[in-house]
A and B are shown apart, each in its own frame.
Chain A
Amino acid sequence: KQEVTQIPAALSVPEGENLVLNCSFTDSAIYNLQWFRQDPGKGLTSLLLIQSSQREQTSGRLNASLDKSSGRSTLYIAASQPGDSATYLCLLDSWGKLQFGAGTQVVVTP
């Protein structure tokens, strides 16, 4: 059974610092991995999707990497801004078996 872990559960950084968010998984037989952000009381917004065959994806200040051998994906957010404050979640698609991590709550202080 796939286990998905996001550590830390919460993170606070000053504006301008780079953010590094981790998503660990136990079974490397995945189809893809998707990163989302969730604002309080709202639905999820897709950030990046990495296919199993890819090593990384980039969009603006965001970069996501995938290392299946070590069971880890990392989301980097460069030069953080207060508007980046949210909960960040990873979703693993293990060929139709879908599982989210519990999320990392990020606060970026001005």
Chain B
Amino acid sequence: DTGVSQNPRHKITKRGQNVTFRCDPISEHNRLYWYRQTLGQGPEFLTYFQNEAQLEKSRLLSDRFSAERPKGSFSTLEIQRTEQGDSAMYLCASSLGLAGENIQYFGAGTRLSVL
């Protein structure tokens, strides 16, 4: 059990470029979550997957954002045509997804800076 892994740790991009982040959950965890956190705020929920199915998606997730979990293992979060307001820490978490046992374990995050 190596924990939740996120790559890259840091990403600097120019406005208008596309970026993609990857999250590898804890092995055998069925649920995978994406959050966004800006300085001084609590994380904001973006979306979550149960295996490969995307079950919930925040209204914060505009058309420029898309997430996938094609085989129910790792997930990617893509932001198209980045804007300066997208600068934030993007956090991924995973959980077993069983009734009564849904502790979320977080990765270290990917810090995005849009210039």
State the A residues within 8 Å of B (CB). 4, 6, 31-32, 34, 36, 42-46, 49, 51, 89, 91, 93, 96-103
Note all chain B residues with C-beta closer than 8 A to A51.
100
Contact of B56 with A34 in the complex, beta carbons under 8 Å: no
User: What is the chain B residue whose CB lies nearest that of A54?
Assistant: B100
What is the interface size of chain B, counting residues whose CB is below 8 A from a CB of the partner?
Answer: 23
Contact with A along B85-110 (1 / 0, CB 8 A): 00000010100000010111111110
Contact of B106 with A44 in the complex, beta carbons under 8 Å: yes
Note all chain B residues with C-beta closer than 8 A to A6.
42
**Residue B45 at the chain A interface, CB threshold 8 Å:** yes
Query: What is the total of A-B residue contacts with beta carbons within 8 Å?
Result: 52
State the B residues within 8 Å of A (CB). 4, 33, 35, 40-45, 48, 55-56, 91, 93, 100, 102-109
Contact of A34 with B104 in the complex, beta carbons under 8 Å: yes
Note all chain A residues with C-beta closer than 8 A to B102.
31-32, 49, 93
Note all chain A residues with C-beta closer than 8 A to B56.
96-98
Contact of B91 with A43 in the complex, beta carbons under 8 Å: yes
A contacts with B: majority SS:
strand
Contact of A46 with B103 in the complex, beta carbons under 8 Å: yes
**Of A32, A34, A49, A100, which one neighbours B42 at CB under 8 angstroms?**
A100
